[in-house]
Structure 1
C-alpha cells in the first residue's frame, strides 16, 4: 500500500515519524508558504530532513498559502499576475532543485472560484517547469461531487485539467461536515467523491486523501475543535461516555454535556480507516495520502503492514 503522510510540527509528531519512518512511502511536510512577492517562506526542519535521509524516505514538501491570514486575497494576487505567477514557479523550481527534493506538493486552499483559469495556467506552467528538471508534481485538491465552477471552496479546481498537469492528485475526501456536526468522512461521501473523480482523472493518478483526526462541536458554535484519535478516546473515557460506531457512516461518534452545552464528537479510528481503505482497491487507485502524522489511531499501522 503506497501510503503518503502529511506532516506538520506538533506535539508527538517527530517521535511518531521516528517510530514509523520505515513504514511510510513518502512524507509530505507543511514547509513552504507563498509570499506576496512570489517567493517562499521556508519553514523546513533540519531534524525532519535528517530523519528522512537516514530512512531513505522521500520528501515532497508542501507549498501552501497559509503563511498569510488573507489566504484568498494572497493566492488571487499571485495567480492573477503573470509576473508574480512566473516568480512563484521559479521559486518552487529553485527550492526543489536546491534541496534535492524528488517532488513537491501544491496545497492551495481558499482559491476564489473566479481564479479557475489562473490556477490552470499556473499548474500547466509549473508542470512544464518542474518536469524539465526531473521533479514529480503532486497537488492536493478539495473533494468534489461534480464539476461546479461556482462552488465557493472547490470551484477553482478543474479535475480534468489538473489531471493533465500533475503526476499525482491527492483528493482530500474529508471535512464532509465542519459548520455543523457530522462524520468527518462517511463511507457514502467518500464513495460519491470517487465515483465522480475516476470519470475525469485516471485512477492511477489518484491517491485517496484520508483523515485520522476527530472534531468536537459545541452546541451554538458553528466550527469544531480538532481532536487527535488519542484525545477523542481519552475524552470519552474520562467522561464515562460510550463511543458508538455508526454503521451507516462507518465512523465513531459520541455526545456529552459540559457546562450545559451539548457536545458532538466524530472521529476516525482504525475501523473507519480500514473501511475507507477498501475503496482504494475497488477503484484501483494508486494509494492514500493521510492528514496527518501524529493524529492517528496506532492500530492503523498494523492495518498498513498487512496490506
Structure 2
C-alpha cells in the first residue's frame, strides 16, 4: 500500500522515523513556510534528510503558510498579487531543484474564499514551473462534501480545477469535529468526502488523508487539546476511564471528569485505521497520506506491512 506520512519535529518523531523509514513510501515534512515577500523560511532538518537518504525514502517537501501567525492575511497577500505569486513559484521551484526533492506538497490553510481564482492561478503556474524541472506536484486539500465557494475554511479550494494542476491530491478527510466533541473522522464522514472528491478529481490522483491522533474537549471550551494515540491511552488509564469503540463512527471514545470539568475524548487507533482501508479499493484510490508520524498507534505498522 502506498503510504505517505506527514512529518513534523515533535518528541519521538525522529525515533519513529528511524524505526519505520523502510515501511513508508514517501515522507512529507513540514519544512518551508511562505514569507510575505514570496521567499521561503527553511525549517528543514539535515538529520531527517540523512535518515531519508539512508533508507531511499523520497521527500516531498511541504510549502505551508504557518510561518506567520496571520496565516490568512499572509496567504491572501501572496496569492492576490501576481508578481508575488510568480516570485513564490520561482522560489519553490529553485528550492525543489537545489535540494533534489522529487516532489513538493502545497499545504495552504485558512485561504480566504475570495482567493479561489487566485489559488487556481497559482497552482496552474506552479504546476507548469515544476513540470519543467520534472518534479511531482502534490496538494493537501481540506475535506469537502460539495463545492461551496463561500465556505469559510474550504471555499477557496475548487477540487475540479486544482485536480487538473496536481499529480497527487491528498484529501484531508478528518477534523470532522473541532469546536464541539465528536469523531475525528467517522466512517460516514469519510465516505461523504470521498463521494464528492471522486466526482471532481480522477480517483487515481487521490490519496486518502488519514488522522492518527485524538482530541480532548473540556466542557465549555471551544478548542480541543490534541493527543497522540499514546497520550489518549495513558490519560484513560491514569483516570480510570473506559474506552468504548463506537461501531457507528468506527472510532474510539471515552469521557472523564477532572476538577469538576467533564472531558470528552475521541481518538484514532489501529482498529479505526483498519476500518477505513477498504475505501481505497471501493473508490479506486492510489493510497493514504497520514497526519502525522509519531502520533500513531504502533499496531498500525502491522496493518501497513500486511496490506
Q: Which residue of 2 aligns with 1:293?
A: 293
Partner residue in 1 for 2:25: 25
Match of 2:140 in 1: 140
CA distance in 2, matches of 1:56, 1:191: 34
Query: SS of the residue aligned with 1:163?
Result: helix
Matched residues in 2 for 1:69 and 1:84: separation?
Answer: 19
Match of 1:222 in 2: 222
Residue ranges of structure 2 left out of the alignment (5+ in a row): none
> 2:165 is paired with a residue of what secondary structure?
coil
2:249 counterpart SS class: coil
Q: What does the per-residue CA deviation read over 1:165-211, in whole Å, with 9 as the maximum and x for residues that have no partner?
A: 00000000000000000000000000000001001110000000000
Query: Deviations 1:206-255 (Å, cap 9, x if unpaired)?
Result: 00000000000000001100000000001101111110000000000000
The aligned counterpart of 2:111 is 111
Q: Distance in 2 between matches of 1:255 and 1:130?
A: 48
Partner of 1:74: 74
Whole-Å separation in 1 of the counterparts to 2:97 and 2:44: 15
The 1-side partners of 2:9 and 2:187 are apart by 29
1:46-125 alignment runs, 5 A limit: 46-125=46-125
Match of 1:274? 274
Q: How much has 1:281 moved relative to structure 2?
A: 1.1
d(CA) in 2 for partners of 1:305, 1:212: 17
Aligned-pair distance for 1:80?
0.3
Work out the CA distance in 2 between the residues paired with 1:263 and 1:13: 27
Structure 2 SS opposite 1:41: strand
Supply the distance in 2 between the matched residues of 1:298 and 1:268 (Cα, whole angstroms). 12
Task: Report the counterpart of residue 204 of structure 2 in structure 1.
Answer: 204
Structure 1 Cα separation of the partners of residues 278 and 29 of structure 2: 26
**Structure 1 CA distance, aligned partners of 2:69 and 2:144?**
25
Stretches of 4+ aligned residues off by more than 6 angstroms? none
Which segments of 5 or more consecutive residues in structure 1 lack a partner in the other structure?
none
Aligned residue number for residue 241 of structure 1: 241
Q: Aligned residue for 2:131?
A: 131
Q: In 2, Cα distance between the equivalents of 1:273 and 1:115?
A: 34
User: TM-score, normalised on structure 1?
Assistant: 1.00
Give me the whole-angstrom Cα distance separating, in 1, the residues matched to 2:6 and 2:83. 30
Deviations 1:7-43 (A, max 9, x none): 0000000000000000000000000000000000000
Distance of 1:265 and 1:280 partners within structure 2: 27
**Partner residue of 1:231?**
231
Q: Which residue of 1 is the match for residue 178 of structure 2?
A: 178
Query: 2:60 aligns to what SS in structure 1?
Result: coil
Structure-1 separation of matches of 2:245 and 2:25: 30
